[in-house]
Amino acid sequence: MSCAFDLDHYRELLKAAQRGGYTFARFDRDPQPGDLFLRHDVDLSLEAALTMAELERELGVTATYFLMTESVFYNLASPAGEEILARLRALDHAVGLHAVYPRVRRDRRFDRVLAWHNPDPEYMSQPVDGFVNAMEPPWFDRAHYRSDSNQRWRRGCPHTGLAKRKPEWLQLLIHPEIWVYEGATMGESMRSMLEAKRELALQQLADDRIDLS
Ligand SMILES: [Zn+2]
Ligand SMILES: [Zn+2]
């Protein structure tokens, strides 16, 4: 099995977790043996999040999508942003706030769960008033956490462990952009994403009655 960062292998990862007998859990209760907290930090692309959400739904998997209100790369308040948020809910996923420290505002679009974007160690795991912080104990400890950041698994791709339910419970952080836009390196994946965004932006310009002739 090639451990590529693409949707085929993402599907294999999820199926491995299902073979391992994990339960897809939300951050609304403490971790229990067999729980898999599937977490998505949506840093760059709502479209990638929706693609991933639809694949998960097809497999009967639920995840928590952490969305930003102040992203440089997308606008959650735009009609497309609102539509994608509603679609994530309709596909039975949880939606949390991907906040930029120290700004937190309670907002009815989000469940009471938060993850900081690019956090510093000083506050990463500190409690946040009115929210579950995905990186605070008991939801986070290093033995029960894997992340795909920058297309690099620190301890190898988790698919083998998942099939054997190792570790006993897990928080798995997956960035949708890395898997939806193909590339053998992070740089290539980002360039694939920019191509897709360019096509989308041209369509948005046309929709906005800009003469592109
Ligand atoms: Zn793998
Ligand atoms: Zn982030």
Give long-range contacts, CB 8 A cutoff, 24+ apart: 181-190: 181/45, 181/48, 182/5, 182/6, 183/5, 184/4, 185/151, 186/150, 186/151, 189/5, 189/151
CA of 199 to the centre of ligand 1 (A): 31
Distances (CA, A) of 75 to 67, 83, 96: 10, 11, 16
| CA atoms of 33 and 17, how far apart (whole Å) | 13
Q: Which ligand is nearest to the CA of 118?
A: 2
Q: pLDDT, tens digit, for every residue of 168-213?
A: 999 999 999 999 999 999 999 999 999 999 999 999 999 999 999 9
CA of 174 to the centre of ligand 2 (A): 11
CA of 100 to the centre of ligand 2 (A): 9
Report the pLDDT value the prediction gives residue 159, as an integer from 0 to 100: 97
Report the pLDDT value the prediction gives residue 28, as an integer from 0 to 100: 97
CA of 118 to the centre of ligand 2 (A): 5
Give the pTM: 0.97
Report the pLDDT value the prediction gives residue 118, as an integer from 0 to 100: 96
Report the pLDDT value the prediction gives residue 66, as an integer from 0 to 100: 98
CA of 3 to the centre of ligand 1 (A): 4
CA of 116 to the centre of ligand 2 (A): 7
Report the pLDDT value the prediction gives residue 168, as an integer from 0 to 100: 98
CA of 78 to the centre of ligand 1 (A): 36
pLDDT under 70: residue ranges of the chain: none
Six-digit token pair at 5? 């960062």
Report the pLDDT value the prediction gives residue 71, as an integer from 0 to 100: 95
